[in-house]
Amino acid sequence: MHSKFLLNGAKTISFLYLSIDWINLKKIYPRVDFYPFWYLNFFNQKKS
């Protein structure tokens, strides 16, 4: 049960990650070079 929940979460996150418009983001944030790290930091800030 728990692993299924994690798998669904991973699918959702990867879907969101792929649907982000990275090219436009890069125009706004020129230093978005480490996409995954930036993405994780962004979500950590939104949660808190």
What size, in residues, is the chain?
48
| pLDDT for the residue numbered 27 | 72
Residue 19: predicted pLDDT: 74
> What are the pLDDT digits (tens) for 4-42?
888 888 888 888 777 777 777 767 666 655 566 666 777
- Span 1-5, average pLDDT: 75
Report the alpha-carbon distance of residue 5 to residue 11 in Å, rounded: 10
* Residue 33 to residues 7, 8, 20, 36, 42, Cα–Cα distance (Å): 27, 27, 14, 9, 14
- Print burial letters for 1-20: b (CB count within 10 Å at least 16), e (below 16): eeeeeeeeeeeeeeeeeeee
Q: What pLDDT, on the 0 to 100 scale, is given for residue 15?
A: 80
**pLDDT value, residue 28:** 66
